Each structure stands twice: as structure tokens, then as C-alpha cells.
């Protein structure tokens, strides 16, 4: 099959197996090129196939030689349809880990369900005994509550008033105004159900009850805090409320599992192009602007660089810096006042006419394509490739 990108709105509906493998290889090479991490040895990553979760898996495996167990929700390829990028990334990670003599196993299914939690626990018992790091990196539009069977949907809406702002339509390459209607109380409650801390706590509770969390185990969930420009649609919006619930959950986890000295952190990461962030109105425009500014400042980082720093400066640092809410902050290069002032100035000026000049459109677009294994140097996109890649 010859595979070219099929883009629909903010998503690409296919993926390139060779390109995805190259993406994974480059992340592994980055970690290998860095000083070793005195870090975890047995790691569970929930949401391990793309974005920040994949980078966490690679950092643990290649930075500190960890055995990694990943959970994800990806579509297997068929004869006629490619698999999802996360499928190919996982296949590529497995192939590379096998070659390098590293333990790997991945479980594909709904991480919100108790069945997948039970399968994961069994696998830890069989293969690892216990784990010493649990990374919670899910981004999902829906969650089925395992107790009630109710399905909740997360929304990306402002809270309070209608909000009109600029956005960038990646599909049509257009900067335009959008008006977002405010969330109802039900929207807020449902978003907290999906993206808040309840499922993270449920995972830790079940892992702990099964005795598979090692003494001194660490766990982290990822958040985005951002600043003034993104607060109306993120920090102070429905998703921000869900992220505040992660802070509540982290405190509860630290209190409840003192018997094993569990260290639970919310880690705040920078805004990056991932499948999750592409879906958020405003974010593609904001990200294209920060890419330009941060590249100029020499502080641009991708998922792998952020997570390597999270491990070395945060989770596995003897004396990690915490903010007032006990969070690890890896977002300082983005959220500092000077950088934000430059972005705000650009934000005020940006229009359809000057967008390509003021923003790093190329950088954004290239990274978007890369998520799905496209636009990567050295990959022959006219070649016939086998879409059916097994794990």
C-alpha cells in the first residue's frame, strides 16, 4: 500500500508505519545521547502509545533501562486500512526494545475499565512483581464509568461567559474568529469525570490492593496550566477544572498510601502538537506562535526533551522544585513573563494575511504530520509498504 496523509479537520485518519517507526527511533536516539537517568526499573505507563506517554516510556526504557508495561487504546491495521499512529509507534517500540534486550509488553484496551486494570495487574504479577513508577498520560474524549456504566464526554468550553477569540483552522490554513458558548454545570461535571483524577485514583487503589506498587513508588499525571492567552479556553475552562481535580487526586494519593511512601505528583508540561492538543480550539494558533518565539529563544522542546527533563530535574532529582500546589513544573520556558509578553504581542497582531510570517506555521504543520509518521526525512512516501504490522 502507498500511504499518503488523509487529513480531516484537526485529525489525520491514517498513519505511516515506516514514518512512525522513524519517529520512535529518533526519540530513542535522543534519550541514548543524554546522560543516563538514575531512575525507575519497572514502569507502568497508562497512555503509552503517543505524545507525552510514549516519551515517558522511551525515557524510562532507554534512560534508566526500565522494563516497561504500556496501556493504550489503538486501532490495529487491516489489509485495507492503516493502523493508528499509536499502533505503529508501539510496534516500533517493541521491535527496538526486543533488539536491545529490554522487557516490553503492551495492553491494548480501555484503560478506564476494570477489566484492563485487572489484566495489567496480572501482567505485573507475572512479569515484573511490582512497579516503581506509574505514569498516567491519558487524553480521551469519553469515559465509561466502570461502576455505573454511564458514559461521560469531555468538552472544551469556557466557563462563565461566551468567549470570542482568534483561532487557526489547520485544515483550511485560515486564521479566523470563533465564538465559544459557555459550559453548563453538566459539561463541567462530565469533563471532570473523563479528564479529572478519579480514574488515576482508581488505578492506584487497585494496583495498591493487589500489592504491585513497590515501596517508594512514584506516580505522576500530566497537566497543562498555561497563561493568560490560553486560560479562557484551557486553564479556566472545562478542561482546566478537570486538571484541578488532578491536584485534588494527587493530594489524596499522597495521604492515602503512606504505608508504601507513595509519591504522587501532577507534572505541568508545555503546550505541544499532539493528537490531543490539535483538537483544542485556539491551541494550534497559540502553539504556532510559541514555536516561533521559543525556537528564536533557543528553548523549543518536543515531548521527549520535556519528559527527559521531568525525569532528571523532577521525578528522579534528589531535591525537585515544587510549586505552591506541590506540582512539578516543566513549563517555565513557555510560561515565563518575557516569553509570554512576546507571544501576546504577536497574538494581537496576527491575522490571516500575516500568519505565515509571524507564526511558525511550517514547524506546526510539520510536527502535526510527524505525529502520524508523515513528512519525515529519509522516508520514501511513494514506496509500497505493508500496513499490517504486528506487535
Minimum CB distance to ligand NAD smaller for 42 or for 117: 117
Is 234 designated active site?
Answer: yes
Please list, in sequence order, all residues whose beta carbon lies within 8 angstroms of the beta carbon of residue 221, skipping any fewer than 6 positions away: 136, 137, 197, 200, 246, 249, 250, 266, 267
Which grid cell sits at 208? 495498591
Minimum CB distance to ligand NAD smaller for 113 or for 260: 113
Question: Do 233 and 281 touch, CB atoms closer than 8 A?
Answer: yes
Minimum CB distance to ligand NAD smaller for 95 or for 260: 95
- Closest approach of ligand NAD to the CB of residue 104, in Å: 15
SS3 87: helix
Please list, in sequence order, all residues whose beta carbon lies within 8 angstroms of the beta carbon of residue 80, skipping any fewer than 6 positions away: none
From 103, 141, 124, select the one nearest 44 (Cα to Cα). Answer: 124
Question: Do 196 and 185 touch, CB atoms closer than 8 A?
Answer: no
Question: Do 369 and 279 touch, CB atoms closer than 8 A?
Answer: no
From 249, 264, 267, 268, select the one nearest 217 (Cα to Cα). Answer: 264
| Distance between CA atoms of residues 141 and 349, nearest Å | 33
- Closest approach of ligand NAD to the CB of residue 127, in Å: 19
- Closest approach of ligand NAD to the CB of residue 138, in Å: 4
Rg over alpha carbons for the chain, rounded to the nearest Å, is 20
The one catalytic residue among 152, 234, 257, 361: 234
Minimum CB distance to ligand NAD smaller for 201 or for 214: 201
- Closest approach of ligand NAD to the CB of residue 51, in Å: 2
- Closest approach of ligand NAD to the CB of residue 52, in Å: 4
Minimum CB distance to ligand NAD smaller for 14 or for 214: 14
Residues contributing to the site for ligand NAD (CB under 6 A): 47-53, 71-74, 86, 110-112, 137-140, 222-224, 269, 271-272, 274-277
| Distance between CA atoms of residues 213 and 272, nearest Å | 31
Residue whose beta carbon is closest to ligand NAD:
51
Provide the annotated active-site residues. Answer: 234
Amino acid at each position: 500500500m502507498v500511504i499518503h496523509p488523509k487529513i480531516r479537520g484537526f485529525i489525520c485518519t491514517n498513519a505511516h508505519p515506516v514514518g512512525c517507526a522513524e519517529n520512535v527511533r529518533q526519540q530513542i536516539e535522543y534519550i541514548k545521547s543524554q546522560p543516563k537517568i538514575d531512575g525507575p526499573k519497572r514502569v507502568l505507563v497508562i497512555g503509552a502509545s503517543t505524545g507525552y506517554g510514549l516519551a515517558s516510556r522511551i525515557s524510562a526504557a532507554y534512560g534508566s533501562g526500565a522494563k516497561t508495561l504500556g496501556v493504550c487504546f489503538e486501532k490495529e491495521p487491516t489489509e485495507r486500512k492503516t493502523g493508528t499512529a499509536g499502533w505503529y509507534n508501539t510496534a516500533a517500540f517493541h521491535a527496538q526494545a526486543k533488539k536491545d534486550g529490554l522487557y516490553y509488553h503492551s495492553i491494548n484496551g480501555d484503560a478506564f475499565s476494570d477489566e484492563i486494570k485487572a489484566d495489567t495487574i496480572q501482567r505485573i504479577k507475572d512479569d515484573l512483581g511490582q512497579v516503581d513508577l506509574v505514569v498516567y498520560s491519558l487524553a480521551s474524549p469519553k469515559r465509561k464509568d466502570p461502576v455505573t456504566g454511564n458514559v461521560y464526554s469531555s468538552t472544551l468550553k469556557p466557563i462563565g461567559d461566551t468567549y470570542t477569540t482568534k483561532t487557526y483552522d489547520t485544515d483550511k490554513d485560515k486564521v479566523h474568529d470563533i465564538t465559544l458558548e459557555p459550559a453548563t454545570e453538566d459539561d463541567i461535571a462530565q469533563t471532570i469525570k473523563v479528564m479529572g483524577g478519579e480514574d488515576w485514583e482508581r488505578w492506584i487503589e487497585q494496583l495498591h490492593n493487589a500489592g504491585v506498587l513497590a515501596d517508594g513508588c512514584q506516580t505522576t499525571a500530566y497537566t497543562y496550566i498555561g497563561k493568560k492567552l490560553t486560560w479562557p479556553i484551557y486553564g479556566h475552562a472545562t478542561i482546566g477544572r478537570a486538571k484541578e481535580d488532578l491536584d485534588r487526586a494527587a493530594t489524596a494519593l499522597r495521604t492515602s498510601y503512606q504505608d508504601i511512601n507513595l509519591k504522587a505528583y501532577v507534572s505541568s508540561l508545555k503546550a505541544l502538537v499532539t493528537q490531543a492538543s490539535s483538537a483544542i480550539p485556539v491551541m494550534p494558533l497559540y502553539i504556532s506562535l510559541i514555536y516561533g518565539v521559543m525556537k528564536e529563544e533557543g528553548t523549543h522542546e518536543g515531548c521527549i526533551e520535556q519528559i527527559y527533563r521531568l525525569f532528571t530535574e523532577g521525578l528522579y532529582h534528589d531535591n525537585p522544585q515544587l510549586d505552591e500546589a506541590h506540582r512539578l513544573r516543566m513549563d517555565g520556558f513557555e510560561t515565563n513573563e518575557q516569553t509570554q509578553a512576546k507571544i501576546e504581542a504577536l497574538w494581537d497582531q496576527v491575522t490571516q494575511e500575516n500568519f505565515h510570517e509571524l507564526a511558525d506555521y511550517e514547524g506546526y504543520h510539520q510536527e502535526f504530520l510527524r505525529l502520524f509518521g508523515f513528512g519525515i526525512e529519509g522516508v520514501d512516501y511513494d514506496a509500497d509498504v505493508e500496513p499490517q504490522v504486528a506487535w
